[in-house]
Structure formats: C-alpha cells, structure tokens
Structure 1
Amino acid sequence: MGEIERRQLGRTGLSVTVLGFGAMDLGGPPAAGEISDAYAGRILNAVLDHGINFIDTAICYGTSEARIGQAISHRRNEFILATKCGCQPGKPMTAPHIHAAANIRAGIEHSLRTMRTDYLDIVQFHQSLDRGAWESDGALDELLKMKAEGKLRFIGVSGIFPNLIDQVDSGIFDVFQIPYSALQREHEGIIAKASANGAGIIIRGGVARGAPTDWNKRYYMMTGEEMSGRWDKARLDDLLNGMSRMEFMLRFAIAEPTLDTAIIGTKNVDHLGGNVTAVLQGPLPADVVEEAKRRLGAAGSKPV
C-alpha cells in the first residue's frame, strides 16, 4: 500500500496527511454513540498505523481526549494534535462555551493533562466568534500567552459565514477549520482567500458524515433532504464510474487544491481502511471535478 499524500498546513510549516482523523465519534455519549475504551484505542492505533498524522478533537467530545491520552500518547511524535477551546472542561457539547481568559487557560491545561502531552500543535476556538467575542474577555490574549509559554504552537478557529470573513481578514489565525464538501461548496471562495493569505485549511464534513447514510441528520446547517436533493439534481451518480458515493465525495474534497487536510471521523476500523483506500486513489481527475462543479452549481452547491 502506498503512502497518503501530505500537504503543508499553510504558514505553520506542518506537513499533514491530506486525510486527517476527527475523533469526536470516539468520545461516546452525548457527542457520539457508545464505544469501549479498548475499541477506541484500536481505532486510534489503526489511524497511526495507516500513516494518518493529523488528529482533531475537542474538550467537549466526551472521553475523546482521554482516550487519545490513554491509547497513543506513547506515539506522540507520530501525529499532529489539534483540539479546541471555549468548551467547559467536564461539560457536554451542549453546554455554553465561555470565551473568557480563565476558561481558555483551564481548557488548555485540561487538554494537556488529559491527552498526556506537553504541548498542543493547534488550538482552535470551537465556535465561529466575532471579533468582540475573542477580544472582550481576553480569550485571544490568553491563547497567545499560552503559545509564548510553549503549551501550544498555532492558533485557529472553527469558522463559518458570516464571521469567517472577518476572521480571515484579521490575519490573526494560523489555521481555519471550515465545512466543505461537494454538496456544501458555499465556503469555497473564502477557503481560497484564507489559503492565499497563508492560513492552513482543515476541512470538516468532506463526506457529509458518510454520504448518503447519515443524510437524514442535520449537519452543518443543511438537512438530509437538502443534501440528497443537491446530489440527485446534479445527477452525480452518472459520474461515479464504479466508485461509491463515499469515495467520490472524499476524492472530490481532496481535489480542492487549497485544502490541506480533510478530517473524517469514524468508530469503525473497516470504514477507516476504506477511507484510506479511497484517498490512495488520489484526487478525482480534473475533468470529473469540473463537470461535477458545473452540475453542482446548477443544483445549488456553489461558492457564495
């Protein structure tokens, strides 16, 4: 088996595999379904064994951070670790996020202890904040202080419209995590702008949570009906040429030249292997991407 392509994560200089791993599904309820510590460890080690070197998590993803610490902290030199701040340690995803200096510090210290590491490669604001939210209570200043202390290397934000525009224009953030897929191309233009400005681009939602099996669930501001409607209206099945929809979606995502890594989550070892196999086929051919974008644009999936 070949090696997964690597790209440079913007001005960070970090070399990341184009396929990353989103660890939310390993956290158990309420963030995700039940999974044992042992099986979560099996998946995390399989991620590294496949050569994937980018792992993304968050404080509020249940036991996700703890399981990373338990299962692969002894392999810390093999992966780039990204987490998020603003969450409240010990509270679920549904709890309010607090963007005050004290909570930012408490969260990062919690992540360091829980994942058994001396440093975090990337810490991202978990919500798409406006400038007032990251400035008024010292959240950004605290991140920068902790960066100076060596506890984190780069800062980012998990952003969406409309605040993403000001976030990119601010020039503050080293990386952006942005939803993007064939069925949700709205952010395509701002992704290109952020990349041109030197920021690293992390894509989430690249396969729309396993297209189409989870399209009945609300995901990143779109309903399953909206996603199915775009797929069917664009007649993308005509372009599959033997691929599964999952493979098509993943290879479409990595064909985007401004993407540095696409984080795909799973709690199934076989699905993980399937994602790796798809990525090893490389991006979709340029002519297929061009035709898909033409059809998708007519179906409503186009840059804003």
Structure 2
Amino acid sequence: MTDLPTRELGRTGIQATMLGYGAMELRGAPRGRDVTEAQAETILHAVLDAGINYIDTSIDYGLSEERIGRYISGRRSEYYLASKCGCLVGAPPAPRGQRSPHVFTPDNITQGVEQSLSRMKTDYLDLVQFHASPSQQTLEAHGALEAAQALKQAGKVRFIGMSSTLPNLRDHVEMGVFDVFQIPYSAMEREHESVISAASEAGAGIVIRGGAAKGAPSEGKQTGTQWERWQQVDLEDLLEDMTSMAFILRFTFSHPDMHTNIVGTINPVHLQDNIDALLKGPLPPEVYTEAKRRLDAVGLRPQA
C-alpha cells in the first residue's frame, strides 16, 4: 500500500486522503448501472487496500450504505465515513434524472441518521451533511440544525456539514455552523472556484464532488455537457503524457483550498488510474495558470 497524500479537513482535524471514494456508484439499478455484490465487495476493499481513508455516501444512494455495512464494517477504523441527511426516509427511488424528495424536519433527520448507522453497522458517522443545499430559511424554519446538533451531542455524528451549491452556499458559509462543505468543482465546472476559497478561509473543510468532471471527458465517453465544454477549449497541447481524465483530476487537485476529492468507480483499474493521477501531484504551476487562462477565455470561469 502506497502512502497517499493527505490534507487536514478544515477545523475537524481529520487528515483525509486527497482522493476519497464516492460510493454513489454502488447504488445499483434503477438509478444507476447494475452492480453485483461481488463488484461492490471488490471495489470497497480495493479502496481501503489502496490507502484511501474517506468514503462518502447517502441515504438515497440505493444500496450504497447497505453494501458499505455488509463488506467493510469490519474495517471501520480504517476510514472516515460521511453520509447525508434530509433525504426522505422510506421514499422509493426517484426516476432516473429526477431528485429524490428531501424533508428537513427534526424527525426525518434523526430517523435518517439512525437508519444510516444501522445500514452501515457503525455507532457513529464522522460527518453528516445536509443534502440538496437547502436554504438558510428552510433550515431555520424546521429546526434542522438543532436536530443535527442533538445527534452530535449524543455521539452519533462527529461533525456537521452541508452539500452546498450557489446561490445558497454563500449564506451557508456566513452562518458559520458547518464544519465541512461538499461542493461541485472541476476544470469543466468552475463556478464555485472562488467561493471554495472563501469557505476554506472561514475554517471549513472542503470536499470536492464532480472533480473528475462527472466521468467526462474520458476516453470512450464523448457525449454530454462536460464533453461539449471540453471541446470549447483547446487544452490538448497541455496534456503531454496525461490522459484527459488525469489532466482533469490533477486540475482539481491543484486548487489550493480543496482537501479531498471524492471520485466514484466500480472498476479497480479506474481506481488505480485515479490514484496514479493523485500521486503525480497537482499540475505544474505554469500549466495550471495557462489552463485557467484558456478556460476563462471561453467562459468557463468562476462566478464573481
């Protein structure tokens, strides 16, 4: 096992590997691709065997939580475990392309965390994150924060976070109550680039999702918004010996204020490719600067 680089996750004190594992890929049909139990077991152990110590999942990721509990609960001391709250407990999976319902009442939040603990066969979550970026008004109207804080006081969660996006992200940072923010970001999705720094400067941990550009522009997968954006900007001469996916990953790792980048896969070969990209480090400064210049020029830039 190679020692992977880590960063401190804000004020939590958690030393998270800069590459984390996004376990949404384990959800299975109908929301995702079919994943066998053997595939789930293999990839989860491969993640831990590689030294990755941060796993992110959610109540509404199908079979993900149950598979974590089934296959790696016996290795609980080897990883930090993050899940979500606000997802409606007992709701059937939403149709593909639609978001599952979220309810931010104290009862639903408490029941959700208790269900996650049971599914994953653990006594505590290292992090519970409010899912779907609810507004400050929604949180305050329902007493959602108080419910999460009560779970923290009971020792069932260690830290409280927010899976957040603009425009609510700025309010969430100003509230000063969240230990960690999970934020979408990559070279192809730079809208949050500046506010990531603001959240980090406020002391919060930064978990990046979508840091592999949602699987594109990967070789063999050349459709969708991310691929269209890749085609808008000429970066090929900056790749040198990198694949486009390695370049995207290293661009994400180059953000000075990101702490861990959660990337999902069920393929051990792809997992190793991601690890290899991490071990090569951030992009050289001159390449990173030039890439951002070209991205800015075609409108792929941070929001002010």
Give the whole-Å Cα distance in 2 for the aligned partners of 1:138 and 1:116. 27
Q: How does 1:148-167 map to 2 (within 5 A)?
A: 148-167=153-172
Asked whether the equivalents of residues 2 and 51 of structure 2 are also in contact (C-alpha less than 8 Å), the reply is no
- 2:123 — aligned with what? 118
Matched, 1:176 2:175: no
Check whether the contact 1:24–1:31 (CA below 8 A) recurs between aligned residues. Answer: no
The alignment of Structure 1 onto Structure 2 pairs a total of residues equal to 296
Please, which runs of 5 or more residues in structure 2 have no aligned partner?
Answer: none
> 2 CA distance for matches of 1:95 and 1:212?
27
SS in 1 for 2:217: coil
Distance 2:86 2:232 in 1: 39
**Partner residue, 2:57:** 57
Residue in structure 1 matched with residue 192 of structure 2 by the alignment: 187
Match of 2:300 in 1: 301
Preserved CA contact (<8 Å) 2:162 2:178: yes
> Does residue 278 in structure 1 map to residue 285 in structure 2?
no
1:210 corresponds to: 215
Higher mean displacement: 207-216 or 187-196: 207-216
**Deviation for aligned residue 1:215:** 5.7
Tell me how far apart the structure 1 counterparts of residues 198 and 248 of structure 2 sit (CA, whole Å): 23
1:78-135 Cα shifts (integer Å, max 9, x gaps): 0000000011233325431110000000000000000000000000011111111111
SS across alignment from 1:136: helix
Amino acid at match of 2:12: T
1:37 paired with 2:42, answer no
Distance 2:263 2:299 in 1: 24
1: CA distance, partners of 2:290 / 2:19: 24
The farther-off stretch of 27-36 and 113-122 is 27-36
- Identify the residue that residue 135 of structure 1 maps to in structure 2: 140
Q: What code does the residue aligned with 1:248 have? A: F
Percent identity over the alignment is 52
8 Å contact from structure 1 (residues 3, 280) kept in 2? no
SS at match of 1:209: helix
Task: Give the distance between the partners of 1:140 and 1:77, measured in 2 at CA.
Answer: 28
Paired with 1:250 and 1:215, the residues of 2 have a C-alpha distance of 17
Alpha-carbon distance in structure 2 between the residues aligned to 1:152 and 1:14: 14
Q: CA–CA distance in 1 between the matches of 2:30 and 2:124?
A: 27
Counterpart residue type for residue 17 of structure 2: T
2:254 alignment partner in structure 1: 255
What is the DSSP-based 3-state SS (H/G/I as helix, E as strand, rest coil) of the residue aligned with 2:162?
strand
Partners in 2 of 1:158 and 1:41 — Cα distance?
Answer: 27
Which residue identity does 1:116 align to in structure 2? K
How far residue 299 of structure 1 moved from its aligned partner, in angstroms, is 1.3
Q: Deviations over 1:121-179 (max 9, x none)?
A: 00001111111111111111100000000000001111111011100111111000000
Query: Which digits, 9 at most, give the CA deviation of each residue in 1:171-205, with x for residues without a partner?
Result: 11100000000111110110000000000000000
Task: Tell me the secondary structure at the aligned position of residue 4 of structure 2.
Answer: coil
Match in the other structure for 1:27: 27
Task: Describe the shift of the 1:19–1:156 C-alpha distance in structure 2 as closer, same or farther (beyond 3 A).
Answer: same
TM-score (norm 2): 0.94
RMSD: 1.2
Structure 1 residue runs of 5 or longer lacking an equivalent are 218-223
Q: Matched residue of 2:215: which SS?
A: coil
Supply the distance in 2 between the matched residues of 1:167 and 1:285 (Cα, whole angstroms). 33
Q: Which whole-Å deviations, capped at 9, do the CAs of 1:2-30 have from their partners, x for residues lacking one?
A: 42110000000100000000000111023
Whole-angstrom distance in 2 between the partners of 1:95 and 1:292? 36
Tell whether the 8 Å contact from 1:230 to 1:300 is kept in structure 2 after alignment.
no
